[in-house]
Chain A
Amino acid sequence: MTDYRIKGETGEWEVVIGLEVHAQVTSNAKLFSGAATEFGAEPNTQVSLVDAAMPGMLPVINGECVKQAVRTGLALEAQINMWSRFDRKNYFYADLPQGYQISQFQHPIVGEGEVHIDLGEGRSKTVGLERIHLEQDAGKSMHDQSPCYSYVDLNRSGVALMEIVSRPDMRSPEEAGAYVKKLRSILRYVGSCDGNMEEGSMRADVNVSVRKPGDPFGTRCEVKNVNSVRFVQAAIEYEAQRQVEIIEAGGTIVQETRLFDPSRMETRSLRSKEDAHDYRYFPDPDLPPLVFDEAFVEALRAELPELPDAKHARYVRDLGISDYNASVLTAEKEAADWFERMLALSAAKQGKPLTEVARAASNWVISDLFGALNALGKDIIDSPISPEHAATLLALIGDGTLSGRLGKDVFQIMLETGDDPEKIVEERGLKQVSDTGALDAAIAEVLATNADKVAQYKAGKEALFGFFVGQTMKATGGKANPKVVNELLKAALAG
């Protein structure tokens, strides 16, 4: 492994990256009002008088948003602050009805924590978290709907966001990407954010600076509102290169806010926000301090689901699943849930302990199922095959009802129809015949028809055994269980 470096004319440069991830808190109602948070409604229909900042309207906090922030903090091994406070961040914009955003500046609800990222090939890293705070989202301005006006929709205005601020601990686009993916995974495990980057449920402000290795931090630029892992990485690559070029040409980096343009994969200065910002933060007098106790935090901790790192460790340690398989299976909560349900059913159906079926089940999920879903462009939650049906299929293969080859055929049919494998086997008569009565009759027939060969076999020409097997399989249309056929033939020929 070599460190990520930008090769400039004056030597190698290191990139320093910190991320502020804005994650929409999963809740029914907004942070300070009773309006809905659903995505995609008609304009200004999910707006209360509070969200529209009508004169005299006041905020009242949604307790679920507080819980979600605490759950997130616990999942990120962060300090939970039992006393926090909301501040006003003052600035004017058409989609900011109050003229200020209610946020947490001085006393955030969650303090320092950490995120462990897996970089593959056994490499890993810990990224420090500085804080998580709760704040309001703004509304949406649309500038291209009318020739004369910008349109403002306040449906998002007041939706709860968690701003998750990392330390400047990342040193490559790859690390930043892994960090965002891991963060997204944890938030989805916890259920505090749906992680849907296309709908804007998660977006990142990327702080990038460059320096010669060993030097102090350089001046950073902030690239705002980047909404995919790929764009985060592209923004860093572009921005780092740009900064190196400026410095090497004798220029200096101006601390500024920039915008990532996904169509050109480059960043540009945000001219419309050129005004020097002076947010005039002060404690919001409409909101007394946010206070809760240890018991409240502990109750939330007790309800937390098993998180990806713990799950990964358990898969390897207790189930004997490979490190790679465990990584793949635990990356998304849905996949892990799907796998664990299938595994439990599978073990039950086969009457075996989990440990005996886990490895094979994990291999099947990753190579067969994920491969097929990938080809179909589907996520695990849209899988046409349910965990129940998958467990049945594995049991059918395991007990010899289906041969490996038939198993693959049935799997294909399941993907197409979503049917129960037992039904498929039944309807299409694909069942492997192991019934000794039926096979005895077939064998008797084969031996009777080939009495001459039987005599030769008995005389010592043992190579003919294969011929008898083949004839029996042919007689049963390929559905006979070869192992049973072997046993029965041996017994019949010995008689």
Chain B
Amino acid sequence: MSVDAATVKRVAHLARIKIDDDRSAVMAEELSKILGWVEMLGEVNTDGVEPLAAVIPNTLRWREDVVTDGGIQDKVLSNAPKAEYGFFAVPKVIE
């Protein structure tokens, strides 16, 4: 699969990473190489093979429905770049 700079830009936007034109061209080349390499998996016959769900067979354990956490607003906000009045603050969103 050959990836062009426009695709890199689209993917970068999906991943919320700003990428300038020069860089996206370089990245396109790198990603094309890597994707071309991983495409060797196409050689493998996987008909009827179930995709791996859990590497070591395991199922979900359930927790009890009891409140054991919370009430730690200070800890939750302690590393926030910007917090006001108990809220996280982010650039204003216009709906």
**Interface size class of chain A, counting residues whose CB lies under 8 Å from the partner chain:** 35 or more
Any A CB within 8 A of the CB of B70? yes
Any A CB within 8 A of the CB of B18? no
A49 partner residues in chain B, CB cutoff 8 A: 69, 72, 75-76
Any A CB within 8 A of the CB of B86? yes
Q: Are the CB atoms of B73 and A45 closer together than 8 Å?
A: yes
Residues of B47-94 whose CB lies within 8 A of A: 53-54, 58-73, 75-77, 82, 84-94
Q: Are the CB atoms of B89 and A28 closer together than 8 Å?
A: no
Q: Are the CB atoms of A29 and B60 closer together than 8 Å?
A: no
Q: How far is the CA of A289 from the CA of B13 in the complex (A)?
A: 31
Q: How far is the CA of A108 from the CA of B62 in the complex (A)?
A: 17
Q: Are the CB atoms of A94 and B93 closer together than 8 Å?
A: yes
| Distance from A160 Cβ to chain B, minimum over Cβ atoms (Å) | 10
List 14 other contacts, CB 8 Å, given A141-B90, A152-B88: A34-B67, A43-B73, A43-B87, A48-B70, A49-B76, A61-B61, A64-B64, A149-B84, A150-B93, A272-B94, A272-B95, A288-B54, A289-B60, A290-B59
Q: Are the CB atoms of B93 and A64 closer together than 8 Å?
A: no
Write out, one digit per residue, whether chain B residues 25-63 have a CB within 8 A of any chain A CB (1) or not (0).
Answer: 000000000000000000000000000011000111111
Q: How far is the CA of A151 from the CA of B89 in the complex (A)?
A: 5
| Distance from A138 Cβ to chain B, minimum over Cβ atoms (Å) | 13
| With known contacts A47-B73, A149-B89, A149-B91, A29–B62 Cβ distance under 8 A | no
| With known contacts A34-B66, A149-B84, A278–B76 Cβ distance under 8 A | no
Write out, one digit per residue, whether chain A residues 35-53 have a CB within 8 A of any chain B CB (1) or not (0).
Answer: 1100000111111111010
For chains A and B in complex, what number of residue pairs have CB atoms within 8 angstroms? 138
**Interface size class of chain B, counting residues whose CB lies under 8 Å from the partner chain:** 35 or more
B64 partner residues in chain A, CB cutoff 8 A: 62-64
B87 partner residues in chain A, CB cutoff 8 A: 43-44, 142, 145, 151-153
| Distance from B74 Cβ to chain A, minimum over Cβ atoms (Å) | 9
Q: Are the CB atoms of B90 and A36 closer together than 8 Å?
A: no
Q: Are the CB atoms of A28 and B62 closer together than 8 Å?
A: no
12 of the cross-chain contacts (CB-CB < 8 Å) are A29-B65, A35-B69, A45-B71, A46-B71, A49-B76, A50-B69, A63-B62, A149-B84, A150-B93, A153-B86, A272-B95, A289-B60
A29 partner residues in chain B, CB cutoff 8 A: 63, 65-69
Task: Name the one of B69, B73, B91 contacting A44, with C-beta atoms under 8 angstroms.
Answer: B73
B88 partner residues in chain A, CB cutoff 8 A: 44, 94, 151-152, 154
Residues of A238-295 whose CB lies within 8 A of B: 270, 272, 275, 278, 280, 283, 287-291
Most chain A C-beta atoms within 10 Å of own C-beta, residue among B68, B73, B84, B87: B87
Q: How far is the CA of A47 from the CA of B87 in the complex (A)?
A: 12
A66 partner residues in chain B, CB cutoff 8 A: 62
A288 partner residues in chain B, CB cutoff 8 A: 53-54, 58-60
Q: Are the CB atoms of A34 and B84 closer together than 8 Å?
A: no
| With known contacts A28-B67, A48-B70, A62–B62 Cβ distance under 8 A | yes
| With known contacts A94-B90, A289-B53, A52–B76 Cβ distance under 8 A | yes
| With known contacts A47-B73, A151-B89, A154-B76, A62–B84 Cβ distance under 8 A | no
B76 partner residues in chain A, CB cutoff 8 A: 44, 47, 49, 52, 154
Any B CB within 8 A of the CB of A143? yes
Q: Are the CB atoms of A35 and B59 closer together than 8 Å?
A: no
Q: Are the CB atoms of A85 and B65 closer together than 8 Å?
A: no
Residues of A30-81 whose CB lies within 8 A of B: 33-36, 42-50, 52, 60-66
Q: Are the CB atoms of B63 and A61 closer together than 8 Å?
A: yes
Task: Name the one of B16, B58, B65, B84 contacting A64, with C-beta atoms under 8 angstroms.
Answer: B65
Residues of A1-47 whose CB lies within 8 A of B: 27-29, 33-36, 42-47
| With known contacts A29-B65, A62-B62, A150–B92 Cβ distance under 8 A | yes
Q: Are the CB atoms of B59 and A291 closer together than 8 Å?
A: yes
Q: How far is the CA of A387 from the CA of B6 in the complex (A)?
A: 71
Q: Are the CB atoms of B73 and A27 closer together than 8 Å?
A: no
Q: How far is the CA of A148 from the CA of B67 in the complex (A)?
A: 35
| Distance from A105 Cβ to chain B, minimum over Cβ atoms (Å) | 14
Any B CB within 8 A of the CB of A449? no
Q: Are the CB atoms of A46 and B70 closer together than 8 Å?
A: yes
Name the CB-closest residue of A to B87: A151
| Distance from A300 Cβ to chain B, minimum over Cβ atoms (Å) | 14
A275 partner residues in chain B, CB cutoff 8 A: 13
Q: How far is the CA of A280 from the CA of B91 in the complex (A)?
A: 26
Q: Are the CB atoms of A43 and B75 closer together than 8 Å?
A: no
Q: Are the CB atoms of A291 and B69 closer together than 8 Å?
A: no
Name the CB-closest residue of B to A38: B67
| Distance from A142 Cβ to chain B, minimum over Cβ atoms (Å) | 7
Any B CB within 8 A of the CB of A92? yes
Q: Are the CB atoms of A148 and B92 closer together than 8 Å?
A: yes
| Distance from A56 Cβ to chain B, minimum over Cβ atoms (Å) | 13
